[in-house]
Amino acid sequence: MHELDHFLQKNFPKLVLAPSLTDQWGASLHFPLAQGIYQFEKDGSL
């Protein structure tokens, strides 16, 4: 079992992950509101 799986099962035992509703529709719009912005620096810090 991967570390992430173990963490999720330990901290969120009833959590069910599923694709978002928009991924299940035939057509959708995506707006890249923060294009070019990433929350982490190259060294891994915020």
Sequential DSSP letters for 1-46: --HHHHHHHHH-TT------HHHHSSS-----TTTT--SS-TTS--
Largest CA distance in the chain: 39
Quote the pLDDT of residue 1: 62
**What pLDDT sits at residue 10?**
94
Given this model, what pLDDT does residue 31 score? 79
**With the C-alpha atoms ordered 12, 15, 20, 21, is the resulting torsion angle positive or negative?**
negative
Q: Higher model confidence: residue 17 or residue 22?
A: 17
